[in-house]
Amino acid sequence: MKLKKLFKAIPDTPIKGPKDVEISGICAHSKFVAPGDLFIVRKGNVHDGHRYIAEAIATGAAAVLTDIYDPFIKDIPQIIHSDVQSIEGLVASRFYDDPSHALQVVGVTGTNGKTTCTFMLRHLLDNHSSMEEYADAKSKLFQGLDAEKAYAIVNVDDSWTERMLKHCSAKVLRYGFSDKADVRACDLDLSISGTSFTVCYEGEEQCFQWGLVGRYNISNALAVIAYGLSIGLSLSKMSEVLANFSPAPGRLESVSNDLGLAIYVDYAHTPHALENLLKGLRGLAAQRLITVFGCGGDRDREKRSVMGKIAEEFSDLCIVTSDNPRSEPPEEIINEIVSGFHDSKKARVEVDRENALEQAISLGEPGDLIVIAGKGHEKAQSFAHHTIPFDDVELAREICIQKLNNLQKSGSAVL
């Protein structure tokens, strides 16, 4: 595409130099520039693209889109715009024949459930025009099962299950909480220290206990247990094995301790994730729910006050701290979070994340539930010009050990 055609409909983009240059590609990274490319100069938070113009030209850049005219560049044309980032997408769209014009755009809005809805829509619209058609398509997974050897393992609590089994000739194992389930969970005991439930199957009953929390995890377990039964595993053996099961790192990961505290580290770093996390744990806290969290720097600023509001609503005590501040001053991020609190006095502020964890565990009393949110599985904390090792799980564990030692030295009672 000719340079003048590319920028014809984009306002305030004067071209300094030849306008009939042929552009064969667009690139914003000097190391990936190919001959004939338009090099887009970005001025980032750390690196300034102006420093790499010479490298891009040497690699074959045919033109440069920049915010400042450089009189020393004489070999190729320069397109000048005061805010390159604001038109970068428009330039790319023009070059690639406006691909968005061929897309159907669906907007999903609401207080909660947006992520779930969009994921569901993606599946529904992938060759299926309705939920009925979607269920019928899924039922084909069961139609081809061997009638003698195969099992269809399904959730009886799902209203679409029977429709999907309509043409299934294989043996069926239904799991769930309903009396209609072949593999049924009952006698649920949900607490901050873990979960216990009884599985009933063909007259046999077996108690299961593990450290995972939440009713949804029981449903997940039932699916796995049903499969185990289909291949001949005993309920007692599965109970023994699952008792030692650990969740994915940083996903509601429990920090074991001898202080009588229930401590969980979770990656929840968005309003939706934080709300689901705290709402699910709120009813399990025997005493107080203490939340330690922050928001990442150089990311969506609008979510900060929202997350502050959510944390205040579902927590008894909030400690607002740093979470990968990157190039932003952590104090400014924290102030934006606290602005979402109805009563700012309910928010304790501790910029240093390690100190924040120490505060939470120091304040924690037996029966309290402490949630450390935002970083989850991450092993580092990112600042403007450096990164330090940081592991919420390991640090929380070390702080618990230190608190226990201090209590023992002072002669205080420890649970």
pLDDT of 119 above 80: no
Both tokens of residue 225?
């247990």
Q: Which amino acid is at 214?
A: G
Q: What's the pLDDT band for 105 if we cut at 50, 70, 90? A: low
**What local confidence, expressed as pLDDT, does residue 415 receive?**
58
Both tokens of residue 130?
């309705």
CB count within 10 Å of CB 281 equals 22
As a 3-state breakdown, the chain gives helix, strand, coil percent values, each rounded to 5, of 35, 20, 40
CB count within 10 Å of CB 202 equals 8
pLDDT of 208 above 60: yes
pLDDT of 205 above 90: yes
Highest mean pLDDT (candidates 133-142, 241-250, 278-287, 391-400): 391-400
**What local confidence, expressed as pLDDT, does residue 217 receive?**
76
Strands of 58-120 (E only): list them. 63-66, 78-80
Q: Which of 231, 233, 230, 193 is nearest to 213 (CA)?
A: 193
Q: What's the pLDDT band for 370 if we cut at 50, 70, 90? A: very high
CATH of 144-242 given 3.40.1190.10, 3.40.50.170, 3.40.50.10090, 3.40.190.290: 3.40.1190.10
Q: Quote the percentage of the chain above a pLDDT of 70.
A: 92
Let me know: does 66 contact 83? Beta carbons within 8 Å. Answer: no
Query: What class, spelled out in words, does domain 3-101 have in CATH?
Result: alpha beta
Tens-place pLDDT, residues 72-94: 888 899 999 999 999 999 999 99
Q: Which amino acid is at 337?
A: I
CATH of 253-410 given 3.20.20.480, 2.170.140.10, 3.90.190.20, 3.40.50.300: 3.90.190.20
Distance CA(357)–CA(274), nearest Å, equals 18
Computed from CA positions of residues 78, 84, 87, 88, in that sequence, does the dihedral angle turn out positive or negative?
Answer: positive
Distance CA(393)–CA(194), nearest Å, equals 18
Question: Are 144-242 and 253-410 in the same CATH fold?
Answer: no
Q: Where are the domains of the chain?
A: 3-101, 144-242, 253-410
Q: Which residues contact 351 (CB under 8 A, 6 or more apart)?
A: 321, 322, 330, 331, 334
Side-chain half-sphere exposure of 307, counting CA atoms within 13 A? 30
